């Protein structure tokens, strides 16, 4: 049965045989182990004094390291000899010891106390007591992520966990969310944590079909297909020490998620059904405040073709004002019957023209969970549906999920668990990007900056269905036409199948084996309809098919020898085999033959591959990638009197992607902790618990597949001739593994009987010898050389603080603060290279690109600045224009990395009522904003309403040819050249007369993105259980929630109301660049949860 899960299509028989051998070994071993069984199985349940289950309590056979943890419902099962003593421990409870005698069922009731002995899941599913850890692990309560009117699980994690930086992208449904732990530790790649779901790596790729600078939709990333309703537990392994056993991919941290179906536990009642349902309404979070006094044109003169509202004032009562104008030529031609025969229309403002473009979106979420079984067997099932309609018309995200899992204990003591889940999601939405770039057609090209006299209630297409706009000229697509006709639809399916078996061979040895497969397949259709400004107006379809399969097999032997009563030793050795296979095809069809049929067959010209604008050699996209990794690892934990702990791990990997000579690499970790309150027997009324911890770890990492040989790339035909070219990147045949080393120290302190808990960590992480492409001069024949080089440092602190100011029988108030500060610096590149471009975003006049450069923050923003007087720093003004002079060379214009993040959650509960609200803030971090630049430059907001006066930019005269101040008798000359308000925001000359907003130096469109926010508000009521005595209802909770109800970003122009929590490049490491992104949303919701 194991073989069913093996990849069959792409493995050679040889390889398949090899995998089989390992699996057969396991199969042969199991019966052998079974015969060695000795001790009995003890089962039971751990409860609190009120009879409620204590989840994940640790149960240890005293004097041994034989320990298990109870499940989420307090149930446990452990092997123990008769008359053993079981020690029960759990967070917030005092330990209880029970002699089991001859019983096989032992229940235990714990009483609350000040001991911290929570159990957390660490690497490879190894459960360990929190107090024993020498590194920081954050445990996330899955309930804090549910029913918050937020379909995106990662977004609902925002502000709740220290050390976790979550960044959103577009405000449309399904858009990717970036999660980052302790900064970027590799130069390229997405730098996101490894996600492990039920023991199997879960690919979180963002599959981008089109370049997001010039188009592309709000691509989602893989984690969006995970159903939050199915999550039983989530642990975040932040540091390398915690993650070292996962090896290669753990250098950016690990999210360890256990699903309900994957853990298949039985509830206290035996059988339980949970039904939850919620409905939310979403709106665009905020619109700018518009001026309604001037229409399109320039310098108070009306112009029907203009995009900027700098024209004549409305109404002839004003100087230059007009009452009526000629009808828009496009509308007059398309719908003459709608307009007066004079061809004149009133010249007036449409104050609601922007808000008319958007609707109230909805989020529906329904989920049903079932768990049941008997003493030996349990099953769990989760099914849910999420349906979101965004505030942009025709944008939606639908996700359906079903997960089933079962666990059983065979009579000879073998535990077997299996699970399967299936998710299908469909995302629909339009395109974004910088509309100014040739061939681009952003849905948001003008949405927020419509001419004030443009009526959005007029039709958006002519009678034939062609896109029409007010000022014609094909400068942008009508936002509504675009939403209905330029649409990307992505269907994504994910299958997860897993099997786990464990068995205690004897008192000393336990064996665990798991095998699982995670398959993610994506089908995308990007349609650009005839008459769009993109695709030459002829229509286009791009089809993208992507499939990724990952298989992982893990075998673990756990040894728990007895030493003496003071010392405890536990050792794990194991083997892990992983295979990742990706296939992808992209095909493009140009020129629709007929309208409305979106198939390749309906196009006149087809090509393999995506449209790559400006690329000299468009790549053909049809590829297969496979990589394999074999790891062998060991983990030894030694504890002394349960207050001093030492853990040493080591792992050796063999990777298929490295040269044979460098294929094998080893990396160790060591960490320790000391509960000094126990060690020193401190009996303080103030300090209940104190622990210090320290860890050091090294994590190795292999290369992407096929990065050793120099290859040719096949290209599109030229004049009917097949072509090939030398690849853009040359490869280093002697690649070595890269390593990340991290030191972490921390402390956990608990005061006043756990009324105050502090968890503090400091870390310093260095990644060296990184495997990445280095830019080399084109004159070498290549643009990049793929090799080992450089160093990245991340240093930071994380603080989790919980305070419970009031804790009475009926009323509790608790405050949780999560503080994250990370400094991410590129320390070294390679000799001879000043800097590397992280991504090509925009070159030319409006130059903005993220870069890597020694001594500077990761991905800092680089662009143009203007000349300043070298002595005084005064702006240099061109006497001929009154504008500034733009420097040729680029410089740093911003740092997108925030200084720190802080989230504060207040939770108040009174009897059945509870109220919680989360404020969070991001301090610092810069963003380049096309939205703000356009709002100002197009003269549409109240920021530029008062425009009757002229302006003088403070500065001194300078010479555009030299970039130096013009001197008169050795002195600089103050600028006295005035310019109009229109020119102040729309540069009269982009190089020699730059002003602000549009067509100016990059530096003027970079803003400090500090933002304060009321992220989440929840008000709930749990219906008293006594009401349900006569009905089969276990509990019922109703909540109302609000998301993003208020924010303040103080460093942006006031009336733009800009929310900097947007980003045009999804979950990639390119941050701080916004190219007319869809604004954020706010939501209200009502949620109901009932258990039976």
Partner 1 sequence: MLFKSRSIKLLLLCTIVFASCKKYLDINKDPNNPLTVEVSKLLPTAESSLGSALAIGNGTAGGLSQILEVYTHQMSTRESQDQYAYTGSGFYIGTAWPTMYQGVFENLEKIIKIAGPAGDRQYVGIAKILKAYGYSQFVDAFGDIPFSEANRLDSSIRYPKFDDDATIYPKLIALLDEGIADVTNATALNLHKPTTDDVIYGGNVQRWVKAANTIKLKLYTQVRKVQNVQAQVTALLASPSTLINATNESFWLPYGPNGATDDRNPGFGDYIATQRSNHVSPWFYETLKGYRPDIFTGNPDPRLPYYIYNQIKANTVTADPTEYRDGAFVSIYFGSRGPNRDRNQQNVISLMGIYPVGGRYDDGQGGTANAASGTGAAPYKFITYADRLYLEAELINAGLATGDARAVLQAAMTESFKQIDYVITTFVKPAQSVPAINGTAAMTTYINKVLTEYDAGNAAKKLRIIITEKWLASYGSAVDQYSDYRRTGYPVLFDPNNPAMAPGGFVQPPVNGNPQAIPQPAVLVQLSRPYPNSLPWYQTELETNPNAPPQKDLVNSFKVFWMP
Task: Please list every residue from 438 through 467 that binds partner 1, using CB under 8 A.
Answer: 438-441
Stretch that binds partner 1, among 182-190, 522-530, 844-852, 928-936 (CB under 8 A): 844-852
Strand pairing class (40-47; 108-109): parallel
- Subset of 13-42 contacting partner 1 (CB under 8 A): 14-15, 18-19, 21-22, 25, 29, 32, 36
- Subset of 991-1030 contacting partner 1 (CB under 8 A): 991-992
Stretch that binds partner 1, among 233-241, 314-322, 713-721, 894-902 (CB under 8 A): 713-721
Closest distance to partner 1 from the beta carbon of 880 (Å): 6
Alpha helices in 246-292 (DSSP H): 260-263
Q: What share of the chain is helix, strand, coil (3-state, %, to 5)?
A: 10, 50, 40
Stretch that binds partner 1, among 104-112, 179-187, 216-224, 888-896 (CB under 8 A): 888-896
Residue with tokens 């001419």: 451
Q: Does 306 bind partner 1 (CB under 8 A)?
A: yes
Closest distance to partner 1 from the beta carbon of 484 (Å): 20
Site string for partner 1, 728-757 (x = CB under 8 A): x-x---------------------------
> In DSSP terms, which residues pair with 817 in a beta bridge?
801, 904
Residue with tokens 């459960």: 127
Q: Does 683 bind partner 1 (CB under 8 A)?
A: no
Residue from 43, 95, 107, 299 binding partner 1 (CB under 8 A)? 299
Residue from 104, 506, 599, 872 binding partner 1 (CB under 8 A)? 506
Contacts of 1069 (CB under 8 A, 6+ apart): 184, 188, 189, 190, 191, 838, 858, 859
Nearer to partner 1, 407 or 930 (CB): 930
Distance (Å, rounded) from C-alpha 694 to C-alpha 672? 6
Nearer to partner 1, 222 or 304 (CB): 304
Q: Does 562 bind partner 1 (CB under 8 A)?
A: no
Nearer to partner 1, 101 or 438 (CB): 438
Answer yes or no: are the C-beta atoms of 851 and 837 closer than 8 Å.
Answer: yes
Residue from 51, 601, 832, 949 binding partner 1 (CB under 8 A)? 832
Q: Does 537 bind partner 1 (CB under 8 A)?
A: yes
Answer yes or no: are the C-beta atoms of 86 and 58 closer than 8 Å.
Answer: no
Closest distance to partner 1 from the beta carbon of 726 (Å): 5
Distance (Å, rounded) from C-alpha 74 to C-alpha 67? 14
- Subset of 632-661 contacting partner 1 (CB under 8 A): 654-657, 660
Distance (Å, rounded) from C-alpha 132 to C-alpha 112? 20
Q: Does 474 bind partner 1 (CB under 8 A)?
A: yes
Residue from 134, 151, 937, 988 binding partner 1 (CB under 8 A)? 988
- Subset of 312-341 contacting partner 1 (CB under 8 A): 329
SS (H, E, C) 400-426: EEEEEEEEEECCCCCEEEEEEEEEEEE
Residue from 1, 809, 831, 968 binding partner 1 (CB under 8 A)? 831
Number of residues binding to partner 1, judged by CB under 8 A: 125
| Closest among 113, 123, 126, 106 to 59, alpha carbons compared | 106
Answer yes or no: are the C-beta atoms of 956 and 975 closer than 8 Å.
Answer: yes
Residue from 6, 714, 797, 1019 binding partner 1 (CB under 8 A)? 714
Nearer to partner 1, 359 or 591 (CB): 591
Residue from 171, 215, 222, 304 binding partner 1 (CB under 8 A)? 304
| Closest among 208, 128, 105 to 612, alpha carbons compared | 208
Residue from 94, 377, 538, 977 binding partner 1 (CB under 8 A)? 538
Nearer to partner 1, 656 or 802 (CB): 656
Closest distance to partner 1 from the beta carbon of 66 (Å): 16
Answer yes or no: are the C-beta atoms of 900 and 923 closer than 8 Å.
Answer: yes
Q: Does 471 bind partner 1 (CB under 8 A)?
A: yes
Closest distance to partner 1 from the beta carbon of 248 (Å): 14
Residue from 42, 534, 556, 1073 binding partner 1 (CB under 8 A)? 534
Distance (Å, rounded) from C-alpha 904 to C-alpha 915? 14
Cα 633 to Cα 202, 236, 509, 858, 1024, distances in angstroms: 21, 21, 16, 33, 51
Q: Does 472 bind partner 1 (CB under 8 A)?
A: yes
Distance (Å, rounded) from C-alpha 499 to C-alpha 416? 7
Site string for partner 1, 762-781 (x = CB under 8 A): -------------xxxxxxx
Stretch that binds partner 1, among 128-136, 229-237, 562-570, 885-893 (CB under 8 A): 885-893
Closest distance to partner 1 from the beta carbon of 612 (Å): 10
Q: Does 672 bind partner 1 (CB under 8 A)?
A: no
Closest distance to partner 1 from the beta carbon of 860 (Å): 15
Nearer to partner 1, 11 or 48 (CB): 11
Closest distance to partner 1 from the beta carbon of 614 (Å): 5
Residue from 455, 462, 622, 678 binding partner 1 (CB under 8 A)? 622
Distance (Å, rounded) from C-alpha 762 to C-alpha 1031? 52
CA-based radius of gyration for the chain? 31
Torsion 340-345-346-350 (CA) sign: positive
Q: Does 536 bind partner 1 (CB under 8 A)?
A: yes
Q: Does 613 bind partner 1 (CB under 8 A)?
A: yes
Distance (Å, rounded) from C-alpha 185 to C-alpha 10? 32
DSSP string of 424-453? Answer: EEEEEE---S-TTSTT---TTSSGGG--TT
SS (H, E, C) 190-241: CCCCEEEECCEECCCCECCCCCCCCCCCCCCEHHHHCCHHHEEEEEEECCHH
Secondary structure letter of residue 470 according to DSSP: S
Nearer to partner 1, 192 or 532 (CB): 532
């Amino acid at each position: 049965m194991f073989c069913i899960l093996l990849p069959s299509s792409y493995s050679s028989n040889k390889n398949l045989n090899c995998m089989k051998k390992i699996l057969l070994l396991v199969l042969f071993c199991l019966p052998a182990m079974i015969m060695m069984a000795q001790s009995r199985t003890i089962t039971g349940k751990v409860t609190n004094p009120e009879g409620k289950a204590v989840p994940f309590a640790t149960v240890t056979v005293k004097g041994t390291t034989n320990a298990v943890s109870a499940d989420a419902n307090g149930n446990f099962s452990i092997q123990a000899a008769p008359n053993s003593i079981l020690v029960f421990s759990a967070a917030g409870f005092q330990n209880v010891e029970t002699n089991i005698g001859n019983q096989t069922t032992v229940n235990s009731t714990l009483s609350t106390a000040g001991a911290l002995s929570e159990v957390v899941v660490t690497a490879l599913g190894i459960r360990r007591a929190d107090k024993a850890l020498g590194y920081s692990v954050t445990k996330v309560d899955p309930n804090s992520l549910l029913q918050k009117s937020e379909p995106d699980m990662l977004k609902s994690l925002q502000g709740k966990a220290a050390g976790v930086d979550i960044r959103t992208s577009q405000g449309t449904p399904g858009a990717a969310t970036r999660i980052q732990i302790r900064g970027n530790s590799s130069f390229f790649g997405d730098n996101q944590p490894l996600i492990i779901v039920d023991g199997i790596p879960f690919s979180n790729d963002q599959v981008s079909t089109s370049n997001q600078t010039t188009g592309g939709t709000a691509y989602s990333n893989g984690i969006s297909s995970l159903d939050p309703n199915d999550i039983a537990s989530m642990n975040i392994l932040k540091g390398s020490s915690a993650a070292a056993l996962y090896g290669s991919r753990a250098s950016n941290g690990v999210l360890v998620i256990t699903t309900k179906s994957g853990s298949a536990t039985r509830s206290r009642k035996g059988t339980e059904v949970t039904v939850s349902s919620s409905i939310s309404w979403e709106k665009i979070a905020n619109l700018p405040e518009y001026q309604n006094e001037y229409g399109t044109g320039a310098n108070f003169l009306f112009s029907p073709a203009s995009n900027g509202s700098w024209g004549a004032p409305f109404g002839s009562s004003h100087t230059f004002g007009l009452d009526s104008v000629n009808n828009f030529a496009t509308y007059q031609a398309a719908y003459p019957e709608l307009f007066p025969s004079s061809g004149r229309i009133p010249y007036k403002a449409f104050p609601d023209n922007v808000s008319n473009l958007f609707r109230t979106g909805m989020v529906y979420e329904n989920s049903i969970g079932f768990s049941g079984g008997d003493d030996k067997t349990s099953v769990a099932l989760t099914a849910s549906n999420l349906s979101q309609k965004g505030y942009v018309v025709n944008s939606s995200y639908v996700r359906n999920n079903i997960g089933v899992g079962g666990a059983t204990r065979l009579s000879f003591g073998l535990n077997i668990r299996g699970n399967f889940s299936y998710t299908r999601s469909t995302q629909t939405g339009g395109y974004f990007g910088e509309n100014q770039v040739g061939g681009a057609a952003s849905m948001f090209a003008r949405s927020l900056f419509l001419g004030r006299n443009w009526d959005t209630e007029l039709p958006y297409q002519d009678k034939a269905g062609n896109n029409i706009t007010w000022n014609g000229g094909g400068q942008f697509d009508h936002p509504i036409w675009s939403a209905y006709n330029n649409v990307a639809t992505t269907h994504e399916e994910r299958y997860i199948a897993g099997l786990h078996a464990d068995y205690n061979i004897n008192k000393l040895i336990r064996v665990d084996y798991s095998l699982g497969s995670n398959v993610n397949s994506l089908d995308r259709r990007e349609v650009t309809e005839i008459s769009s400004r993109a695709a030459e107006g002829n229509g286009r379809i791009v089809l993208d098919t992507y499939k990724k399969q990952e298989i992982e097999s893990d075998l673990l032997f756990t040894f728990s020898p007895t030493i003496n009563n003071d010392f405890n030793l536990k050792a794990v050795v194991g083997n892990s085999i992983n295979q990742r296979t990706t296939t992808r095809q992209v095909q493009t069809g140009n020129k629709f033959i007929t309208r409305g049929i979106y198939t390749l067959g309906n196009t006149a010209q087809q090509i393999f591959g995506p449209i790559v604008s400006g690329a000299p050699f468009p790549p053909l996209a049809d590829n297969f990638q496979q990589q394999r990794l074999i790891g062998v690892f060991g983990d030894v934990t030694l504890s002394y009197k349960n207050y001093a702990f030492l853990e040493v791990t080591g792992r050796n990997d063999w990777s298929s992607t490295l040269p044979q000579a460098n294929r094998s690499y080893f990396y160790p970790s060591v960490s320790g902790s000391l509960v000094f309150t126990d060690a020193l027997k401190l009996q303080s009324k103030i300090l209940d618990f104190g622990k210090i911890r320290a860890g050091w770890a090294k994590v190795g990492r292999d290369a992407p597949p096929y990065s050793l040989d120099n290859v040719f790339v096949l290209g599109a035909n030229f004049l009917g001739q097949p072509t090939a070219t030398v690849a853009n990147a040359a490869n280093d045949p002697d690649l070595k593994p890269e390593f990340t080393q991290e030191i972490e120290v921390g402390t956990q302190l608990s005061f006043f009987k756990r009324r105050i808990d502090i968890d503090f960590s400091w870390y310093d992480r260095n990644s060296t010898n990184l495997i990445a492409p280095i830019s080399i001069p084109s004159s070498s024949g290549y643009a990049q050389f793929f090799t080992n080089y450089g160093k990245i440092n991340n240093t930071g602190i994380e603080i989790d603080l919980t305070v419970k100011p009031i804790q009475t029988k009926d009323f509790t108030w608790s405050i949780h603060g999560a503080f994250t500060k990370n400094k991410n610096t590129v320390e070294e590149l390679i000799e001879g290279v000043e800097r590397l471009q992280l991504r090509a975003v925009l070159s030319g006049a409006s130059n903005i690109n993220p870069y890597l450069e020694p001594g500077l923050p990761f991905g800092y923003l680089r662009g143009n600045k203007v000349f300043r007087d070298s002595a005084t720093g005064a702006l240099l003004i061109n006497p001929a224009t009154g504008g500034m002079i733009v420097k040729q060379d680029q410089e740093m214009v911003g740092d997108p990395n925030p200084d720190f993040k802080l989230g504060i959650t207040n939770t108040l509960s009174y009897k059945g009522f509870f109220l919680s609200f989360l404020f969070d803030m991001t301090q610092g971090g810069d963003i380049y904003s096309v939205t703000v630049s356009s709002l100002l430059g197009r003269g549409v907001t109240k920021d530029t309403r008062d425009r009757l006066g002229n302006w003088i930019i403070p500065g001194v005269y300078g010479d555009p040819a030299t970039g130096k101040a013009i001197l008169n008798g050795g002195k600089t000359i103050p600028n006295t050249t005035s310019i109009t308000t229109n020119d102040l925001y729309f540069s009269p000359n982009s190089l020699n007369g730059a002003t602000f907003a549009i067509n100016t130096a990059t530096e003027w469109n970079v803003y400090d993105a500090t933002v304060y926010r009321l992220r989440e508000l929840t008000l709930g009521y749990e219906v008293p259980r006594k009401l349900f005595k006569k009905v089969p209802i276990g509990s019922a909770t109703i909540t109302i929630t609000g998301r993003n109800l208020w924010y303040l970003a103080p460093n942006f122009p006031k009336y733009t109301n800009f929310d900097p929590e947007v980003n045009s490049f999804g979950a990639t490491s390119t941050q701080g660049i916004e190219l007319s992104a869809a604004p954020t949303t706010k939501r209200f919701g009502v949620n109901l949860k009932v258990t039976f």
